[in-house]
Amino acid sequence: QSALTQPASVSGSPGQSITISCTGTSRDIGSYQHVSWYQQHPGKAPKLMIYDVTSRPSGVSNRFTGFRSGNTASLTISGLLAEDEATYYCSSYSSRSSLLVFGGGTNLTVL
């Protein structure tokens, strides 16, 4: 069981917006800036999409937006494209003995 809770799947049509939630606790998401989001296509390495809750690495589309409210972080993807279909993972620094925890992943289907 993952330390962070994500929905197993979400879906949307091309052009629409979707939001993926990632729920943690005051020992991780609620207390630290180091919240990240990754996109992973099958058989590929993950790709960093968001770090420090809201920051986008160079080269990542501004269609990807991160934010946080309390112990829950969220990733919004606007203007859905077929290429956005992938699995998305959240991660957070944690005060637990394992310093970095991940969510279980959310499969995004673009209908």
Partner 1 sequence: QVQLVQSGGGVVQPGKSLRLSCAASGFTLGIYAMYWVRQAPGKGLEWVASISHDGGNINYGDSVRGRVTVSRDNSRNTLYLQVNSLRDEDTAVYFCAADVAPMSTLKYAMDVWGQGTSVTVSS
Are 103 and 74 in contact by the 8 Å Cβ rule? The answer is: no
Give the nearer residue to partner 1 in terms of CB position, either 80 or 89: 89
* SS3 label, residue 34: coil
Q: Please give the span between the terminal C-alpha atoms of the chain, in angstroms, as a whole number.
A: 29
In the shown chain, the binding pattern of residues 38 to 77 toward partner 1, with x for contact by CB under 8 A and - for none, equals x-x----xxxx--xx----x--------------------
Binding site for partner 1 (CB under 8 A): 2, 34, 36, 38, 40, 45-48, 51-52, 57, 89, 91-93, 97-105
